[in-house]
Structure 1
Amino acid sequence: MTPPPDAMSAAAGPYPLALAEGPLPALRARIAAGAIAADPAQELAAEKLQDLWRRTRGYDPKVEPPDTGGFLGRFFRRKAVDEAASEAPLGLYLVGEVGRGKSMLMDLFFASAEVPRKQRLHFHQFMQQAHRRIHAWRKEHGDTADPIPPLADSIVAEAALLCFDEFQVHDIADAMILGRLFEALFARGVVVVATSNTEPDNLFKGKPGRDAFLPFIAMIKKRIEVLVLDAARDYRRERIRGMPTWHVPPDGRAERALDTAFAELTGDTPAAPTRLTLLGRAVEVPQAARGVARFEFNDICGKPLGPADYLAVATHFHTVVLDAIPRLGPENFDKARRFITLIDALYEHRVKLVASAEDYPDRLYERGENAAMFERTASRLVEMQSQEYLALAHLT
């Protein structure tokens, strides 16, 4: 679960001395150097993180693995867990609209945190790994064995501080295990810092089975302080506004332009493959970081994906970088049909698209009986390049 070491070095940047003093001095050093603009909301969040930085210096809860030696072993194990929970400082849940600097602030905190065992990762990645561990446990111990305590033990052995980017719950499989898993993690003294576009009270809202999810929300609010980051500017949308978003043709120059766009939109965060799971299906995402996904055209339109798959992409990512859209026509109509469905999902959720293609939108599908059907897609692709569209907030 540990992120690449580049994540810490990128957060440190050219200000390692300020970073050694905590996230607030590091933020102020960047402002003084002109690297970022001062923002009162970010300053308040940095003050909260600085306080947590002080309270977690050297934090290292010692929770021994389960003892199999009968009642006394279980008693002392329970006592150790209870003590760890009572001594753990409250975490912090930074919530706000996209592009307000939440991830940047958490990166400063994570890079400066003096905690022996710590991890920073995308929340979706964390849940994927949790499901894989549960599956492996049940395969070895049977379906009747409870996988949550050993899963929590393995996680706390790796990290007493967990920093989650983009905390969001869309999947019923995640919702079903979150309550017990986080109860076990908090009981073992784990401190959680998270960023999210969604306030805890609105997590999993409107989804089937949400009533059973409400105790998890109550637990989050008890163990993690919630701070709304109401920054004045949307820094992420400012980065994409004015950025060329449609590159013709899909040659080496276009590929380099998409590389640059991906790096700028993710703050040079190292990308990694991820997988979106829904109803037993999986959508493979070759590269993802900080809410940005990158696909080759055939990765997303050359496979048998449907509307639900594209909806998952549209709700999980605020920006999609798409390489090498070909000319479309009757000879590749299956791919064209999927591309139409993909663009509908992205457009309806205000996802930003940066792409390279063989031609401009109104010339991508010029011949064949279905060319007229593509006209709406071409119109949407043109609108998605407009500054008005790029200024819209992502809808999850």
Structure 2
Amino acid sequence: MAPEAQRQALRLVDRSPSITGAEIVAELVPPPQFEHASFESYRPDLNFPSQLEAVERLNSFAQAWRSQRPSGFFSRTRKPKDDLPGIYLDGGFGVGKTHLLAALWHTAPGPKYFGTFIEYTALVGALGYANTVKQLRGARLICIDEFELDDPGDTMVMTRLLGELVATGTRVAATSNTPPNSLGEGRFAAVDFLREIQAMSANFETVRIDGLDYRRRDTAGNAVAVPDESLRHMVGTLLERGSRVTDDGFGALIRHLGTVHPSKYIKMIQAVDVIALTDVFLLTDQTDALRLVAFIDRVYDAEIPIIASGLPLGEVFDAEMMAGGYRKKYLRAQSRMVALTTGELPPHAD
């Protein structure tokens, strides 16, 4: 391949991937940054004792795998905490819920699965309900990060799926997002979660994790935008280093995200080292904004740095969105975009 061809930037808008059920199952593991997550590596904020208490409760939950006592999921009487087959981590974004969920997954014996709510519902869409149950049956642990409460239909499907799985001994651990019109920054998340999962609620122990967003503990909390000419120079330098860089206009990317199911966003960013976005602007359409949130979640999981020009990415959601029912999702996305965009030349990926 000619040197000039090697230095050509890629474009996300040229990627319209498909995804199979087998590929989804293969991805049901913790994201790369949590590949080695453990209870010992969790860094609690000592100003919030509930973080250490959460580690203790999850360790206790993990002890059940050493016991042979069965625990039916739909028993008529509530079980003691240590016997409950489900545990729900309740707290704001950035307090380490995903780290602890991944640490629990690493502690559990296999077979086991770890994925977002979107990944599990996409699996049902790809395989069908009966084949999804067959695929996941026998799992010792199912971890569900970002359990979505916005869509009653999807929630009912997941409730039914989990009910069938845990009836045969599978244990479940979950975190969730706050549903529409709940502005409590996580305070109401547990109540909403337990209400939505209905028949299973009495079998979940809720573990509250208080604290501040760890991504903002030691930073000013700004997503940096760079001038267009600086962005062009950075892209050129990265390409000369051999980095795999995508270069897209922000508006074009937002339009393209509307043509790709969110479960496929992970494949859009495969084999990408750095994402460059030009002419970032304020979003006023909530559908576009929620697609960006889902996309940023996958970029954050893949630890791909972003360089961007125009409006700082942390400011793309308008005031009406930030005051509305999806406020918590936008705040989480803002936090992640702050972590991903520094305005400095990202290091070359090995």
TM-score for both structures, normalised by structure 2: 0.56
Q: Deviations over 1:284-311 (max 9, x none)?
A: 635799xxxx96548x99xxx9935313
> 2:171 is aligned with what amino acid?
V
Shift in alpha-carbon separation, 1:314–1:90, aligned structure 2, 3 A: same
Q: Which residue number in structure 1 is paired with residue 290 of structure 2?
A: 312
Q: Distance in 2 between matches of 1:8 and 1:316?
A: 17
For the 8 Å contact 2:159–2:200, the answer to whether it is kept is no
Q: Deviations over 1:110-161 (max 9, x none)?
A: 2222x12111122222221222111xxxxxxxxxxxx44x43222124x220
1:45 deviates by 0.6
Q: Any stretches of 5+ residues in structure 1 without a counterpart?
A: 14-18, 62-81, 135-146, 204-212, 258-275, 328-338, 359-396
Q: Which residue number in structure 1 is paired with residue 113 of structure 2?
A: 119
For the 8 Å contact 2:149–2:176, the answer to whether it is kept is no
1:235-384 → structure 2 map (5 Å cutoff): 235-238=214-217, 241-242=220-221, 245-248=224-227, 249-251=230-232, 253=234, 282=261, 285=265, 297=277, 307-313=285-291, 316=294, 323-325=307-309, 343-344=317-318, 348=322, 349-350=330-331, 351-352=333-334, 353=337
Q: Any stretches of 5+ residues in structure 2 without a counterpart?
A: 1-24, 179-188, 239-255, 300-304, 323-329, 344-350
Q: Distance in 2 between matches of 1:8 and 1:189?
A: 28
1:77-96 → structure 2 map (5 Å cutoff): 89-96=84-91
Q: Report the 3-state secondary structure (helix = DSSP H, G, I; strand = E; otherwise coil) of the residue aligned with 2:142.
A: strand
Q: Distance in 2 between matches of 1:311 and 1:125?
A: 20
Q: Distance in 1 between matches of 2:127 and 2:35?
A: 30
For the 8 Å contact 1:165–1:196, the answer to whether it is kept is yes
Q: Distance in 1 between matches of 2:45 and 2:65?
A: 28
Q: Which residue number in structure 2 is paired with residue 154 of structure 1?
A: 135
Aligned partner of 1:202 among 181, 192, 200: 192
Q: Which has the higher contact order (CA 8 A, sep 6+)?
A: 2
Q: Distance in 2 between matches of 1:254 and 1:242?
A: 24
1:44 deviates by 0.7
Q: Distance in 2 between matches of 1:252 and 1:170?
A: 42
1:54 deviates by 0.9
Q: Deviations over 1:188-245 (max 9, x none)?
A: 2221111224324325xxxxxxxxx95x5222322221122123x3213336535552
> 1:117 is aligned with what amino acid?
P
Q: Report the 3-state secondary structure (helix = DSSP H, G, I; strand = E; otherwise coil) of the residue aligned with 1:192.
A: strand
Shift in alpha-carbon separation, 1:311–1:154, aligned structure 2, 3 A: same
Q: Distance in 2 between matches of 1:51 and 1:281?
A: 41
Residues paired across the two proteins, number: 258
Indicate the structure with greater helix content: 1
For the 8 Å contact 1:169–1:175, the answer to whether it is kept is yes
For the 8 Å contact 1:96–1:197, the answer to whether it is kept is no
- Aligned CA RMSD, in angstroms, stands at 4.9
Shift in alpha-carbon separation, 1:166–1:10, aligned structure 2, 3 A: closer
Q: Report the 3-state secondary structure (helix = DSSP H, G, I; strand = E; otherwise coil) of the residue aligned with 1:12.
A: coil
